[in-house]
Amino acid sequence: MAPDKPIRVRNRLRRKELFAKYKDERNKRRHEERAERAKEELENPELKAKRLAENVPNTIESMRVFDETVNAELEGTDEFSEYFENTDKDPKVLVTTSENPKKNGLIFAKMLQDFLPGSVFVERKEKYTMKDMASYCSNRQFSDLIVVNEDKNKVTGITFIHLPTGPTFYFSVTNIIESKKIAGHGNPTSHIPELILNNFSTRLGQTVGRLFQSLFPHRPQFQGRQVVTLHNQRDFIFFRRHRYKFKNEKRVGLQELGPQFTMKLRRVQKGIREEIDWEHKPSMDRDKKKFYL
Q: How far is CA 13 from CA 9, 16, 18, 19, 49, in A?
A: 10, 5, 9, 10, 45
Tell the burial category of 130 from Cβ atoms under 10 Å away from its Cβ (0-12, 13-18, 19+): middle
Is 74 among the domain residues?
A: no
Q: What is the pLDDT of residue 176?
A: 95
Structure confidence at residue 166 as a pLDDT band (50, 70, 90): confident
Q: How far apart are CA 275 and CA 65, in angstroms?
A: 28
| Across 234-243, average pLDDT | 96
For the chain, the average pLDDT equals 90
DSSP string, 226-283: EEEEEEEETTEEEEEEEEEEE-SSS-EEEEE---EEEEEEEEEESTTT-SEEEE--GG
Q: How far apart are CA 171 and CA 159, in angstroms?
A: 6
Write down the number of H helices and E strands in the chain. Answer: 6, 11
For residue 7, is pLDDT > 80? no
Q: Provide the number of structural domains found in the chain.
A: 1
Q: What is the pLDDT of residue 1?
A: 52
Winning range, highest mean pLDDT, from 2-11, 127-136, 183-192, 208-217: 208-217
Is 28 among the domain residues?
A: no
Closest CA to 93 of 65, 61, 75, 117: 117
Is 238 among the domain residues?
A: yes
Enclosing domain of residue 166:
83-281
- % of the chain exceeding 70 in pLDDT: 97
For residue 76, is pLDDT > 80? no
Q: What is the pLDDT of residue 98?
A: 87
Structure confidence at residue 221 as a pLDDT band (50, 70, 90): very high
Structure confidence at residue 66 as a pLDDT band (50, 70, 90): confident
Is 2 among the domain residues?
A: no
Is 64 among the domain residues?
A: no
CATH code for the domain of 148: 3.40.50.10480
| Across 254-265, average pLDDT | 95
Whether residue 269 contacts residue 167, with contact meaning beta carbons closer than 8 Å, is answered with: yes
| Across 254-273, average pLDDT | 94
Is 221 among the domain residues?
A: yes
Is 259 among the domain residues?
A: yes
For residue 196, is pLDDT > 80? yes
Structure confidence at residue 202 as a pLDDT band (50, 70, 90): very high
CA of residue 247 relative to chain centroid, distance: 27
Whether residue 95 contacts residue 144, with contact meaning beta carbons closer than 8 Å, is answered with: no
The pLDDT tens digits for 88-132 are 889 999 999 988 888 999 999 999 999 999 899 998 877 788 888
| Across 259-276, average pLDDT | 94
